Every structure is written in C-alpha cells, then in structure tokens.
Amino acid sequence: MSLLQAFTEAPRLGQLYMAYQPQWSLHSGEIIGFEALMRWRTADGRHVSPDAFIPVAESSGLIIETGRWALITALQAVGQLRRAGLQGFHMAVNVSVMQFQAPGFVDMVQQALAQTGVGAEALELEITESVAMAGAQQVLQILASLKAMGVGIAIDDFGTGYSSLSYLHQLPADRLKIDRAFVSCLGSGERSAQIAEMVLPLGRQIGMKVLAEGVETSEQARLLAALGCDEAQGYLFAKPMPLSELLEWIKVRP
Ligand code: G
Ligand code: G
Ligand code: G
Ligand code: MN
Ligand code: NA
C-alpha cells in the first residue's frame, strides 16, 4: 500500500489524532498557548511524521478535509482546557499553503469557530514564512479577513526563508516564531546564532511578539530571556501531548 492509500484510510480507522505542545512566557512562566500538531499512528503502532504525510495530504487534496478536522478538533480542545480551569490562552493551528489558498478557507474557519463556540481571539493560525512572504495579494487579503474576524496570525519557521523586511511590516501578523535551527545554536558562537539576536529587536519594532521554538535547555531559555524574547516552546518545558495526557500534565505542570 502506498503512503497515499494508507493516509486516505487513516481518518476512518481513527489513526489520526492531535497533540498539543504548551507555549510559555519567559517572563512569567505562565502558559500562553498551545500548538496543535497532527499525529498519525498506523495500524502497526508506528508514527509517521507530519513531514512525510502532510506533503502527501497536500498533493492529493486530502489536506482540505483533514485540515478542517484538525482545526475543529483543536478548537474542541480549547473548550476542554477551559473546563479544566485554564484561561487566557490561545490555540495555534498549522495551516498549509494549499489549505490557505483553497476557495472558502476564511468561511471554513468562521464555521469551525461557530460550530465549536470558541471565540476567534482564542485561535491563532500558523503559516510558514515562505507562504507569508510569497507577496501574493491574495495572501494579504486572506490574512486581512482573518485579522478582521479577530483570529491571530503567527509566522512559522521564521528565519528559514527570505523575508523582505519591507514586506514583513505590512503583514497583519501577531507573532514571529523563530525556527528551532536558530535556537539550537544559541550560545555556540556560530553565526547562525545571531539570527535569533537579530529577529528579537526586529519583532519588537514592528509590534510582533517573538516566540522561540525548540527550546531544549535552560541555558537557551536564559539566553533568550536576556535577549528580550517573550515566549518559548520546546522540550525543556513540555513535549507535544495528546489531550488526555495534556489534561493530566496541566495539573502537575512546572
Ligand atoms: O502510543 P504512542 O507512545 O506511540 O503514542 C504517544 C501518545 O499518544 C500516548 O499517550 C498514546 O496514548 C497517544 N496516542 C497514540 N495514538 C493515539 C490515537 O490514535 N488516538 C489518541 N487519542 N491517542 C493516541
Ligand atoms: O509534529 P512535528 O513536530 O513533527 O511537525 C512537523 C511539521 O509538520 C511541522 O512543520 C508542522 O508545522 C507540520 N504539521 C504538524 N501538524 C500539522 C497540521 O495539523 N497541519 C499542517 N498543515 N501541518 C502540520
Ligand atoms: O510547525 P513546526 O515546524 O514549527 O512544528 C514544530 C515541530 O517541532 C514539531 O515537529 C514538534 O514536535 C517539534 N518540536 C517541538 N519542541 C521541540 C524541541 O524542543 N526540540 C526539537 N528538536 N523539536 C521540537
Ligand atoms: Mn508550527
Ligand atoms: Na516551525
């Protein structure tokens, strides 16, 4: 069976689920949000990486339906987290380029919010830097519509593409997510470590929050905080967890 055939069957077989990774404030230590990440566990119990199945889902068009399921599932998790006593957090959901540019995307988001009874301000959509920076008028229009609804926008994998600074400040985005490649080298003296140092004042100047991804050590967290970084996400704090595990974790969290 091809990967596409297997993926086509995955939703019906209940093999897809969402994992949620906490994001926290480097200042207060409080949870500020979660990133929802899709997971596929095949019949033999192995996990296939999204890096392998998302491209298949995109090229087949299945991402439209799967992405809608992921969004609704993540919004339902917002309700469960609130019922568990958590307040004032956002849920970040990854959106791939094909989903984003498909006709009716904004309406689909609106419907998902209405259907789950979650306010737009609790939702953040993550689009990659390369999508955001493609410069298409269509992208700017979609972002403006989402913004008008009150949905937050994060630029994912920031630093890996070729951002035009003049374009970046026109984007109605709320948050820049520094790619983990630029976090893992912090304190190493490598030139790539300077990317994180450069992005932080940049984000502040254009009024965006900056979140560091892939923070694994307390030394990285310390350096980031010293550089003025607001927020972080990574194994140091918590790994992505299925909702049941997350609901247990929030009771005992650091
Ligand atoms: O079983 P494994 O270690 O590969 O999965 C990691 C976590 O994800 C475990 O907590 C497990 O319960 C959960 N998990 C794995 N597959 C599924 C699934 O299909 N649905 C749900 N809800 N949770 C799953
Ligand atoms: O989950 P992992 O931690 O391995 O994520 C690998 C990549 O897959 C990330 O770039 C992430 O953005 C992407 N990804 C994970 N879940 C989703 C999803 O629900 N939708 C889309 N479009 N991409 C996802
Ligand atoms: O959408 P994006 O590419 O940003 O997805 C985040 C990816 O990073 C997911 O695959 C997630 O499992 C992974 N991840 C989250 N925290 C860490 C971390 O501390 N270290 C590493 N190496 N990967 C992480
Ligand atoms: Mn992401
Ligand atoms: Na990323």
What pLDDT score does 124 carry? Answer: 98
What pLDDT score does 165 carry? Answer: 72
Q: What does the mean pLDDT of the chain come to?
A: 92
Window from 4-8, 117-121, 195-199 with minimum mean pLDDT? 195-199
Regarding the domain with residue range 3-252, which homologous superfamily does it belong to in the CATH classification? Answer: EAL domain (3.20.20.450)
- Which residue's C-alpha comes closest to atom 20 of ligand 3? 214
pLDDT tens profile 172-184? 899 999 999 999 8
Q: Residue 230: is its pLDDT beyond 70?
A: yes
What pLDDT score does 135 carry? Answer: 64
More confident site: 33 or 196:
33
Q: Residue 134: is its pLDDT beyond 90?
A: no
Q: Are 178 and 214 in contact (CB under 8 A)?
A: no
Ligand 2 closest atom vs CA 156: 12
Per-residue confidence band for 236, with pLDDT thresholds at 50, 70 and 90:
very high
- Ligand 4 (ion): which residues have CB within 5 A? 94, 126, 156
> How far apart are the CA of 51 and the centre of ligand 2, in A?
7
Arithmetic mean of pLDDT, 122-146: 87
Q: State how far the Cα of 247 lies from the Cα of 133, in Å rounded to an integer.
A: 36
Per-residue confidence band for 166, with pLDDT thresholds at 50, 70 and 90:
confident
pTM for the model stands at 0.91
- Which residue's C-alpha comes closest to atom 19 of ligand 1? 15
Ligand 1 closest atom vs CA 47: 4
Ligand 3 closest atom vs CA 156: 4
More confident site: 186 or 148:
148
The predicted complex's ipTM stands at 0.87
Arithmetic mean of pLDDT, 42-48: 95
What pLDDT score does 144 carry? Answer: 94
The ligand that comes nearest to the alpha carbon of residue 159 is 5
Arithmetic mean of pLDDT, 221-227: 93
Arithmetic mean of pLDDT, 7-35: 97
pLDDT tens profile 48-62? 999 999 999 999 999
What pLDDT score does 175 carry? Answer: 95
pLDDT tens profile 198-218? 888 888 888 899 999 999 999
Per-residue confidence band for 126, with pLDDT thresholds at 50, 70 and 90:
very high
> How far apart are the CA of 224 and the centre of ligand 1, in A?
32
